[in-house]
Chain A
């Protein structure tokens, strides 16, 4: 059962709100403070991914975020993009992600005006690299209800805390 649910229109400005809420809930749940930076960045990346998918496909539906603190602090970010497009940005082996150095191996003179699409592709690659590199417990799967995907991430809760769980 989520502790906090958040839904927002797929606008970049709201991603910051989701980050702030996510870290506030983590703090309230007693998650170790040294994980806050990681949680903030991971929630931002997952929400940015969802916003980008919605905008790419002109989907006005809300992006959903569910935060729970049972056995582990869990964040689920749910988009409503077509499943093929969403899973096309699924998370593979970080080692198989594009080599960033290769991004620059073009001779001078041919890159004076970088294609915005190329920059977007770099962003997507970096986003996946960050999520895969930051979050140990990370899954991307089809949403339970309706179209879209769910990015699920979790972090350990301190043992012996009050309330439910505490085994993480």
Chain B
């Protein structure tokens, strides 16, 4: 399995659990899923990178694109990531100053406690999840 995507609702957020490798081959799948979620109404999205084994520049580009897309419609994208080897990638590229990052999904849904990025989490009451787009 190279990339697995599964969406769920929790605490007013749409959480996208990502597992496997995000690279030049698989990143388009992530892009399409994130676009579908936003078009389905999701506004406060947490991308859970806890089970991501590999992340490259293409994946970073997709995440930046999703962040811009969400902010363009008044939403926000948060990242949950506790893996040092991935955090290093965000630091090297300076993207740790762009994304609102949390060490875990639980920390993200707790309303911003422990956040280290530039934004302020603002959970939406309805979360905006599209059931059709939430299928794993």
Contacts and interface: CB of A to CB of B under 8 A. Distances in A.
Majority SS at the chain B contact face: helix
B106 interface: no
A119 interface: yes
Given A41-B89, A100-B97, A130-B92, A114 B23 contact: no
Chain A interface size, as a band, is 35 or more
Nearest to A40: B54
Interface in A78-99: 99
A52 B58 CA distance: 11
B24 A130 contact: no
B61 A126 contact: yes
B90 to A, nearest CB: 9
B98 A103 contact: yes
A12 B23 CA distance: 8
Contacts of A114: 65, 68-69, 72
Contacts of B73: 108, 112
A16 B69 CA distance: 28
A76 to B, nearest CB: 19
B93 interface: yes
B101 to A, nearest CB: 13
A74 interface: no
Interface stretch (A43-51, A59-67, A144-152, A157-165): A43-51
Contacts, number: 105
A113 B73 CA distance: 9
B98 A16 contact: no
B72 A126 contact: no
A21 interface: no
A1 interface: no
A104 B68 contact: yes
B52 interface: no
A64 B98 CA distance: 35
A108 B74 contact: yes
A134 interface: yes
Q: 8 nearest interchain CB pairs? A: A123-B61, A112-B72, A133-B92, A127-B57, A111-B72, A126-B57, A12-B25, A119-B65
28 contacts: A15-B23, A41-B54, A44-B56, A51-B24, A99-B94, A100-B93, A100-B97, A100-B98, A104-B64, A104-B71, A106-B68, A108-B71, A108-B73, A111-B69, A112-B72, A114-B65, A114-B68, A119-B62, A119-B64, A119-B65, A122-B65, A126-B57, A126-B61, A126-B95, A129-B94, A130-B57, A130-B89, A134-B92
Given A15-B23, A111-B68, A133-B92, 6 more contacts: A16-B25, A37-B85, A44-B23, A103-B64, A108-B72, A130-B57
